[in-house]
């Protein structure tokens, strides 16, 4: 492809900024990144409080976040943040140690069985489900894999046929039952459901295992985590500062027309002409959101195939509160509340996070889900009250709410559409209408998976 083509990138989050970096590294410098907000970083949002930054979005990474490490190297930064740890409470606010046999004598048989099943799952993923951890989803519903290996930072291209991969379209709980590893859900649920990615009875196993591949999950279990002193947003602020063409903030895209081999973007009232466009912003958002955010099909000259496919997308209603506490009520550590990570406890507090351990003059952040595939959506204010009540139950009541966020989170499709080849159909459209689709929906909703997909997109098409 001509290195001088004009490329528009929609979105200044990890996917969009990474696309700019990888394009630049391949010699494409005539790109423009348009961001509707007044900041970069997307769901990596790290506001300031009392001289430090806290997290409203992404919190941490692990050593297998190779794309994030690409960005660190490009910018000359590193993961220099506070060391994290966590403990557990039950739904009544009692501290528990669910994985410690000495503290759970009656559960020793279950814990031993779980340990064997974790080992079994690891072996199955390497053999029966070879290729499961390739970034992205193309080919999975057809029983094949194609992409870049995520087993090491080299990310070598691999491909192959594996009919067993079709099992990844099953909801994760059914996938585990089919393979006799049901108890592994006790471990996977912590960094999955509490991080807002839905429940195991509704989300295809592909999403769970491409995000929490065995290597990544073990890093979470061992608390082998990366953080950044100035927050995850700092990663993307740094990248933006090092790009030849930093994102243009406060860019309201009003219309996109694709005709005669050109892409015409009306942004802030002005029409700009491009040759190609990469969309890393949402493709479709069901129902109107209070923040006014809309999907691509609402401002593009969307074709019928785009409308038909993208209308299958749903997303999680995941809420974050940043709260102050009185010093005597400040938690001594972050806590997971496993009792609340089930659909029956929808809307309740699942995890609350203490970032800075050397002071109590910082906020804690709380996380809750209020939507399940088979249940009514809990209203935002109702959920907020439930979470604040839960903090009282946890013996860490909030004295004040200083920030809150209900963000468009984890776009995905459900098992039926996944199995019917949704991803293969969208991947077959890459480049059609001079348009490329990236961002969370094309891989997974964490910062590394989205950045890694942008890398692959650039490698495949530019």
Report the pLDDT value the prediction gives residue 151, as an integer from 0 to 100: 85
Domain boundary among 221, 238, 255: 221
Report the pLDDT value the prediction gives residue 92, as an integer from 0 to 100: 96
Query: What pairing do the DSSP bridges indicate for beta strands 314-324 and 276-279?
Result: unpaired
Cβ proximity of 313 and 284 under 8 Å: yes
197 and 240 inside one domain: no
117 and 216 inside one domain: yes
336 bridge partner residues: 88, 351
Task: Using alpha carbons, list the distances in angstroms from residue 168 to 181, 300, 414.
Answer: 14, 32, 11
Cβ proximity of 264 and 257 under 8 Å: yes
Tokens matching residue 116: 């064997």
Query: Model-level pTM?
Result: 0.96
**Termini Cα distance of the chain:** 6
Q: How many domains does the chain have?
A: 2
Report the pLDDT value the prediction gives residue 105, as an integer from 0 to 100: 82
134 and 178 inside one domain: yes
Report the pLDDT value the prediction gives residue 102, as an integer from 0 to 100: 79
Tokens matching residue 34: 């348009």
DSSP code per residue over 438-450: -SGGGS-SSHHHH
Task: Judge whether 441 lies within some domain.
Answer: yes
Q: CA 308: distance to chain centroid? A: 24
Report pLDDT digits (tens) over 118-165: 999 999 999 999 999 999 999 999 999 999 988 888 899 999 999 999
The pLDDT > 70 percentage for the chain reads: 100
247 and 116 inside one domain: no
299 and 423 inside one domain: yes
Three-class DSSP category at 337: strand
For the chain, residues with pLDDT lower than 70 are: none
Report the pLDDT value the prediction gives residue 332, as an integer from 0 to 100: 95
117 and 189 inside one domain: yes
13 and 44 inside one domain: yes
Helix pair angle (14-25, 232-242), 10° resolution: 40
Report the pLDDT value the prediction gives residue 22, as an integer from 0 to 100: 98
424 and 282 inside one domain: yes
203 and 253 inside one domain: no
């Amino acid at each position: 492809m001509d290195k001088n083509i004009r490329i528009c990138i929609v979105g200044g989050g990890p996917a969009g900024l990474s696309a700019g970096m990888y394009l630049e590294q391949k010699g494409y410098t005539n790109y423009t990144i348009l961001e509707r907000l007044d900041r970069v970083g997307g769901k990596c949002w790290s506001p300031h409080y009392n001289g430090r930054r806290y997290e409203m979005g992404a919190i941490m990474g692990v050593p297998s976040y190779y794309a994030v490490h690409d960005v660190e190297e490009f910018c000359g930064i590193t993961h220099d943040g506070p060391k994290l740890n966590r403990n557990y409470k039950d739904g009544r606010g009692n501290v528990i140690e669910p994985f410690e046999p000495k503290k759970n004598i009656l559960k020793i048989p279950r814990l031993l069985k779980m340990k064997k099943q974790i080992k079994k799952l690891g072996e199955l993923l390497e053999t029966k489900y070879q290729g499961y951890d390739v970034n992205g989803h193309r080919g999975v519903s057809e029983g094949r894999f194609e992409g870049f290996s995520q087993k090491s930072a080299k990310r070598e291209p691999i491909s192959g046929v594996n009919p067993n991969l079709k099992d990844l379209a099953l909801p994760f709980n059914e996938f585990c039952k089919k393979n006799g590893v049901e108890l592994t859900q006790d471990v996977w649920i912590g960094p999955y459901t509490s991080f807002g990615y839905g429940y195991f009875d509704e989300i295809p196993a592909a999403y769970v295992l491409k995000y929490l591949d065995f290597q990544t999950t073990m890093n979470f279990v061992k608390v082998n985590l990366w953080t950044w002193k100035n927050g995850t947003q700092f990663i993307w602020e740094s990248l933006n500062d090092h790009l030849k063409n930093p994102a243009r903030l406060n860019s309201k895209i009003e219309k996109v027309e694709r005709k005669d081999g050109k892409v015409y973007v009306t942004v802030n009232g002005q029409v700009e002409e491009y040759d190609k466009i990469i969309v890393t912003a949402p493709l479709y958002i069901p129902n109107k959101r209070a923040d006014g955010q809309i999907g691509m099909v609402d401002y593009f000259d969307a074709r019928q195939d785009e409308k038909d496919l993208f209308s299958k997308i749903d997303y999680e209603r995941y809420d974050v509160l940043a709260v102050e506490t009185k010093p005597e009520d400040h938690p001594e550590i972050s806590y997971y509340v496993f009792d609340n990570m089930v659909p029956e406890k929808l809307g309740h507090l699942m995890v609350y996070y203490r970032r800075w351990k050397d002071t109590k003059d910082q906020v804690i952040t709380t996380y809750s889900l209020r939507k399940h595939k088979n249940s009514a959506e809990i209203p935002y204010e109702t959920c907020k009250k439930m979470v604040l009540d839960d903090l009282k139950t946890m013996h860490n009541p909030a004295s004040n709410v200083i920030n809150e966020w209900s963000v468009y989170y984890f776009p995905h499709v459900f098992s039926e559409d996944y199995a019917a080849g949704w991803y293969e159909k969208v991947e077959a459209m890459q480049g059609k209408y001079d348009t490329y689709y990236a961002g969370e929906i094309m891989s997974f909703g964490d910062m590394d998976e989205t950045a890694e997909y942008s890398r692959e997109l650039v490698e495949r098409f530019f």
